[in-house]
């Protein structure tokens, strides 16, 4: 068994079932090992950002670590932005990055670069492996690191000769560090905060999975607190039968307004609410200066355990939680606007869908319109690095066969990683991509006034304009083997949505806004 | 004047005329400054890899530094692969990367990341600027760093409050370090090496510009040495009237064969020839173990000065150099093969064209077929990070109005950064993209045997196959506003080439191989 085979065998033994790949010469032995060692599905992507974004969503939806196979420094860098999102999603992802053979390093061949420096910024665990004998054990440690807490990014940099040399040893799984239990004094503090009044439970990450969020909502109902989430969760179970919660708006102004009366904020699996960007003459925190903030459960803590303990202390049970009814919006009429398209999505969302959301500005109406839709999962852009949507939809579809994946996609960010549509066609993944075609970086237009630039000049406005030439998304999709349609009325959108949800396999709708 | 304005004014004063941009919120003040400070052309790209690859080629073709405006860590990472190529091209590029406001850093907002770690791996100079007063001077230092020697990558990380705060000071240009003069003892050593016989001058980078390469060829002719280049030069002036030189093949096996009789290798602006990748049981060096290697001029040395001194010592003048005649190949007939498509390109290449080459395997016939074509510049993939071609063509066209840019583009690598086609349409750039559609990562298929994997399994072969679904490049191009045509006969290729060279503006031909 060579090193490459020992690594693949170890990953499979440790529960890694899927590898999203963009291999190059330095990874060919790893690719060949996939044929020799059974148990790993390999999904080819045409750009590394597609591979890492898919791995992120796969890991979010299955809870299992996904592997990514990347080609040297440039391959890792191409995948970095979506690894940043995966890091913010606390998704268990294992990067396997090929490196030159050890003895080739000194010659500084053209593709040589400092891979560690690129890996460090996005990985909780980085290991460089120079011999076949160490590769299996390094793989097991990487899986353990990836599965620790809620999840992390682990990167294994594999010298090519470590992969191709005999002497590989399959390693047994290494136990990850589970989410940490929450100490009793924090439960005490949470009880006190709830009793003090003007309280909000802000839940995120592990605390927004269905069971946990229902408990949090029950605690809130029982104590008169508010319960909210922020729109940057890795996976939020929503729709009929899930906990009714507030959504804190993403923009700092409205978020600050929503939080202004809160004096006791209890964070469960969530971090301090702060502005996405600092703005001139505005505080970074969106909470009131008088608001006390209690971190009940940190990201990698056992949020569900903490909520169970807290529920016990305040006498709440799941039955106390207000749940969303099944009450989707009526099909709208009129013009295509963010509100009417949101109503169409809410009305027609298939049961058990996975929504991969990179709507950016257009999506602001979307959350309210789908809250009482059929039950579904919502996976957000977690780290703000755009180009996540199409890859996430791809990974979610690999993770969840039998479920329809709906990708709500802004046009500007969609262009970052459109290559993932090809993988959807190749794997016949059941994804409906809906592109909001406003032909502008609208969020930047909205931000101009926020950063003190109310009167931008023509160059600045030109930098935000995607309309010249207009992007033609059905053509782009067709170029990658995906059928698409452009719609410019509500009726046509409804028809296209119904037609494309009906069939299995990738489809695309461009909605002219 | 705020910090952003002082930076733009300083860059303009220091000779920076073009900025390729993918701005986000943290860069809006820099964008706004482009309207307030005249002198900088701003070119919008839909993905950062397009911006950095365009900047690389612009800098190669003009010798002037190009600026790139990037959004935080993810934006820099998205541009990293083509910055790696620019680093290997020794192109003067200045990255301006927006960072959060200083006071916002502690809150670890979603887009916060370790930008320095990403910048370090690809930059010769990195500076992070926290105040408006320092921004101008930092910009001047970055330009000086970028213009030092042959050229370098400089990165300025700009906190948003440094950009938007008043108190910016436009800084005067800082003198770069010019290419270093070559000491006399190295000229002596080169004379001795040439006299020792079985000598080759291997020229690269600054030594392959027209005047230098003619001198090198004259020295070789006068002394009986061989004269060669490697296919990874930033800018090679070629065609009728340029020096006749050998091209060392890129694959290690043929390169080793070409070098096997050389006992005295004289490097001028070039590095040791080594294999692109280390292979099992093969040496990394492609020179014979008995070959002495003399570094006459390093990359950042004054190669032209060294060649002038050496020519003086051996009594050679430019008139001694064998020059390429104007003798393009005849238009071919028969099937579309790498040889016939190369003959078409050689026959029809317009005078003074710029060829942006990311042909990978298909391009191996191309160099010979164009050596006696009309005079032209050839810009290579320098660092091996694929996804360079379409962006390089974009930047070359911005750099060289009035010249036709021909992008020879492999399909697999073209998919990495296809978004740059949109910029070509937006700026009405005069680029003809020719995609070699073999629907496979053919170079990896070729490499399987080299790395000891002669019998790959179905998974491995599947990872190299781009044919399912087939990419439809004319559709992809149309989706971004570029007219395209697919051809599957030599005659149709000739017709399309003639038609599209005739018109100004971006066009694309997909050649079915």
- Express each pLDDT in A372-401 by its tens digit: 999 999 999 999 999 999 999 999 999 999
Do strands B226-230 and B153-159 pair parallel, antiparallel, or not at all (unpaired)?
Answer: unpaired
The pLDDT of residue A167 is 98
CA distance linking residue B237 with residue B140, whole number of Å: 31
Q: Which of A137, A138, A154 is nearest to A146 (CA)?
A: A154
Q: Give how far the C-alpha of residue A305 lies from the chain's centroid of Cα atoms, to the nearest Å.
A: 24
Kindly determine whether residue A422 and residue B471, on different chains, have CB atoms separated by under 8 Å: yes
Q: Does A325 touch chain B (CB under 8 A)?
A: no
Of A29, A412, A459, the CB nearest to B34: A459
DSSP state of A207: G
Give B123-126 contacts, CB < 8 A, sequence gap 24+.
B123/B83, B123/B87, B123/B95, B123/B152, B123/B153, B123/B154, B123/B155, B124/B87, B124/B148, B124/B152, B124/B153, B124/B154, B125/B152, B125/B153, B125/B154, B125/B155, B126/B154, B126/B155, B126/B157
Residue ranges of A 277-296 with Cβ closer than 8 A to chain B: 277-280, 284-285
Kindly determine whether residue A462 and residue B42, on different chains, have CB atoms separated by under 8 Å: yes
Distance from CA of A509 to the nearest CA of B (A): 14
Give the H/E segment covering residue B230.
Answer: strand B226-230
Distances (CA, A) of A457 to A315, A467, B34: 59, 17, 9
Of A46, A275, A452, the CB nearest to B109: A275
Distance from CA of A389 to the nearest CA of B (A): 15
Give the H/E segment covering residue B82.
Answer: helix B72-89
Cβ neighbours, 10 Å, residue B89: 29
Of B107, B277, B415, the CB nearest to A46: B415
Longest dimension (CA), chain A: 68
Q: Does B107 touch chain A (CB under 8 A)?
A: yes
Distance from CA of B106 to the nearest CA of A (A): 10
| A&B contacts, CB < 8 Å | 319
Average pLDDT score, chain A? 96
Q: Give how far the C-alpha of residue A424 lies from the chain's centroid of Cα atoms, to the nearest Å.
A: 18
Kindly determine whether residue A479 and residue B456, on different chains, have CB atoms separated by under 8 Å: no
Kindly determine whether residue A32 and residue B73, on different chains, have CB atoms separated by under 8 Å: no
Do strands A353-358 and A264-268 pair parallel, antiparallel, or not at all (unpaired)?
Answer: unpaired
Kindly determine whether residue A26 and residue B426, on different chains, have CB atoms separated by under 8 Å: no
CA distance linking residue A412 with residue A513, whole number of Å: 13
Of B279, B468, B480, the CB nearest to A426: B468
Which residue in the block uniquely carries the two structure tokens 């190529």?
A: B85
CA distance linking residue A96 with residue A141, whole number of Å: 13
Query: Beta strands of A281-375 (E only): which ranges?
Result: 292-297, 353-358
Find residue B227's DSSP bridge partners: B201
Distance from CA of B224 to the nearest CA of A (A): 29
Distance from CA of A287 to the nearest CA of B (A): 13
The pLDDT of residue B449 is 82
Q: Give how far the C-alpha of residue B493 lies from the chain's centroid of Cα atoms, to the nearest Å.
A: 26
Q: Which of A232, A163, A376, A207 is nearest to A298 (CA)?
A: A207
Averaged pLDDT for residues A45-69: 98
CA distance linking residue A73 with residue B301, whole number of Å: 27
Query: Beta strands of B57-177 (E only): which ranges?
Result: 66-71, 93-99, 125-129, 153-159
The pLDDT of residue B157 is 98
Q: What angle do CA A493, A495, A500 make, to 5 degrees?
A: 95
Contacts of B429 (CB under 8 A, 6+ apart): B393, B394, B397, B398, B405, B423, B505, B506
Q: Is A191 exposed, middle or buried (0-12, 13-18, 19+ CB in 10 A)?
A: middle
Q: Does A422 touch chain B (CB under 8 A)?
A: yes
Q: Judge whether A340 and A414 are in contact, CB under 8 Å.
A: no
Contacts of A387 (CB under 8 A, 6+ apart): A49, A53, A81, A82, A413, A414, A416, A417, B47, B78
Longest dimension (CA), chain B: 68
CA distance linking residue B290 with residue A179, whole number of Å: 61
Q: Does B473 touch chain A (CB under 8 A)?
A: yes
Distance from CA of A480 to the nearest CA of B (A): 5
Kindly determine whether residue B275 and residue A109, on different chains, have CB atoms separated by under 8 Å: yes
CA dihedral B36, B39, B41, B47 (to 10 degrees): -60
Of B118, B463, B475, the CB nearest to A42: B463
Above pLDDT 70, what percent of chain A? 100
Which residue in the block uniquely carries the two structure tokens 């500084």?
A: A108
The pLDDT of residue B364 is 78
Q: Judge whether A66 and A59 are in contact, CB under 8 Å.
A: yes
Averaged pLDDT for residues A286-290: 97
Contacts of A142 (CB under 8 A, 6+ apart): A94, A125, A127, A154, A155, A156
CA distance linking residue A45 with residue A27, whole number of Å: 15
Rg for chain A, CA atoms, rounded: 23
Which residues of chain B are modeled with pLDDT < 70? none
- Express each pLDDT in B146-164 by its tens digit: 999 999 999 999 999 999 9
Q: Does B449 touch chain A (CB under 8 A)?
A: no
Q: Does A390 touch chain B (CB under 8 A)?
A: no
Spell out which residues of chain A touch residue B465, defining contact as CB-CB under 8 Å: 44
Kindly determine whether residue B118 and residue A117, on different chains, have CB atoms separated by under 8 Å: yes
Spell out which residues of chain B touch residue A415, defining contact as CB-CB under 8 Å: 46-47, 419, 422
- Which one has a higher pLDDT value, B438 or A236? A236
Q: Does A84 touch chain B (CB under 8 A)?
A: yes
Distance from CA of B163 to the nearest CA of A (A): 11
Distance from CA of B510 to the nearest CA of A (A): 12
Q: Which two tokens stand for residue A174?
A: 């290494």
The pLDDT of residue B239 is 97
Spell out which residues of chain B touch residue A77, defining contact as CB-CB under 8 Å: 77-78, 80-81, 84, 118
pTM confidence score? 0.98
CA distance linking residue B492 with residue A44, whole number of Å: 32
Residue ranges of A 474-503 with Cβ closer than 8 A to chain B: 474-481
Residue of B nearest to A72 (CA): B385
The pLDDT of residue A449 is 82
The pLDDT of residue A364 is 78
- Express each pLDDT in A406-439 by its tens digit: 999 999 999 999 999 999 999 999 999 999 998 8
- Express each pLDDT in A353-364 by its tens digit: 999 999 987 777
Kindly determine whether residue A276 and residue B21, on different chains, have CB atoms separated by under 8 Å: no
CA distance linking residue B34 with residue A460, whole number of Å: 7
Phi and psi (nearest 5°) for B149? 60, -140
Residue of A nearest to B48 (CA): A416
- Express each pLDDT in B362-416 by its tens digit: 777 898 999 999 999 999 999 999 999 999 999 999 999 999 999 999 999 999 9
Do strands B376-379 and B236-238 pair parallel, antiparallel, or not at all (unpaired)?
Answer: antiparallel
Structural domains of chain A, with CATH: 3-164 (3.40.50.970), 184-320 (3.40.50.1220), 338-512 (3.40.50.970)
Query: Which residue of A28, A53, A358 to mutate against B (max B Cβ within 10 Å)?
Result: A28
Kindly determine whether residue B277 and residue A104, on different chains, have CB atoms separated by under 8 Å: yes
Q: Judge whether B425 and B480 are in contact, CB under 8 Å.
A: yes
Averaged pLDDT for residues A125-136: 98
Burial B214-239 (b: 16+ CB within 10 A, else e): bbbbbbbbbbebbbbbbbbbbbbbbb
Q: Judge whether A409 and A389 are in contact, CB under 8 Å.
A: yes
Residue ranges of B 6-25 with Cβ closer than 8 A to chain A: 21, 23-25
The pLDDT of residue B362 is 77
Averaged pLDDT for residues A258-273: 97
Phi and psi (nearest 5°) for A382? -90, -35
Angle A72-89/A48-62 helices, nearest 10 degrees?
A: 30
Q: Does B446 touch chain A (CB under 8 A)?
A: no
The pLDDT of residue B151 is 98
Spell out which residues of chain B touch residue A477, defining contact as CB-CB under 8 Å: 479
Spell out which residues of chain B touch residue A280, defining contact as CB-CB under 8 Å: 161, 164
Residue of A nearest to B49 (CA): A78
Of B118, B277, B284, the CB nearest to A121: B118
């Amino acid at each position: 068994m060579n090193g490459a085979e020992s690594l693949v065998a170890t990953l499979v033994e440790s529960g890694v079932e899927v590898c999203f790949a963009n291999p190059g010469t330095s990874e060919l032995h790893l690719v060949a090992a996939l044929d020799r060692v059974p148990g790993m599905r390999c999904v080819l992507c045409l750009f590394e950002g597609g591979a890492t974004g898919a791995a992120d969503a796969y890991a979010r939806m299955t809870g299992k670590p996904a592997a990514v196979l990347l080609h040297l420094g440039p391959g890792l860098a191409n995948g970095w932005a979506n690894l940043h999102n995966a890091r913010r999603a606390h998704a268990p992802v294992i990067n396997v990055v090929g490196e030159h053979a050890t003895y080739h390093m000194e010659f500084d061949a053209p593709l040589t670069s400092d891979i560690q420096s690129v890996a460090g910024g996005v990985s909780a665990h980085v290991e460089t492996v120079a011999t076949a004998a160490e590769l299996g054990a390094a793989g097991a440690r990487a899986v353990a690191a990836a599965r620790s807490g809620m999840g992390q990014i682990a990167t294994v940099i594999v010298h090519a000769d470590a992969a191709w040399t005999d002497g590989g040893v399959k390693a047994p799984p290494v136990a990850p560090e589970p989410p940490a239990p929450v100490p009793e004094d924090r439960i005490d503090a949470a009880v006190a905060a709830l009793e003090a009044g003007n309280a909000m439970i802000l839940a995120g990450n592990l605390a927004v999975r269905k069971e946990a969020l229902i408990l949090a909502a029950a605690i809130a109902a029982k104590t008169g607190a508010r319960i909210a989430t922020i729109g940057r969760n890795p996976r939020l179970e929503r729709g009929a039968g899930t906990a009714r919660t507030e959504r804190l708006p993403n923009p700092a102004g409205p978020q600050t307004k929503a939080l202004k009366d809160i004096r006791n904020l209890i964070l469960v699996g969530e971090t301090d609410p702060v502005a996405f960007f600092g703005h001139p003459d505005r505080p970074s925190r969106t909470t009131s200066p008088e608001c006390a903030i209690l971190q009940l459960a940190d990201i990698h803590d056992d949020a569900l355990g903490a909520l169970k303990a807290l529920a016990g202390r305040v006498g709440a049970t799941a039955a106390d939680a207000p749940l969303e009814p099944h009450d989707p919006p009526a099909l709208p009429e009129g013009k295509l606007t963010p509100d009417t398209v949101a109503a169409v999505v809410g009305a027609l969302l298939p049961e058990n869908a996975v929504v991969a959301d990179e709507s950016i500005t257009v999506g602001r109406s979307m959350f309210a319109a789908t809250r009482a839709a059929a039950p579904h999962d919502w996976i957000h852009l977690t780290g703000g690095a755009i180009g996540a949507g199409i890859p996430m939809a791809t990974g979610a579809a690999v993770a969840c066969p039998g479920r329809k994946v709906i990708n709500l996609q802004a046009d500007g960010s969609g262009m970052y990683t459109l290559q993932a549509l090809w993988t959807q066609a190749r794997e016949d993944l059941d994804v409906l991509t809906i592109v909001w075609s406003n032909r502008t970086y609208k969020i930047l237009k909205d931000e101009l006034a926020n950063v003190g630039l109310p009167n931008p000049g023509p160059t600045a406005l030109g930098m935000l304009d995607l309309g010249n030439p207009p992007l033609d998304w059905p053509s782009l999709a067709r170029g990658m083997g995906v059928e698409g349609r452009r719609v410019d009325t509500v009726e046509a959108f409804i028809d296209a949505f119904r037609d494309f949800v009906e069939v299995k396999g990738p489809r695309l709708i461009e909605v002219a806004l």
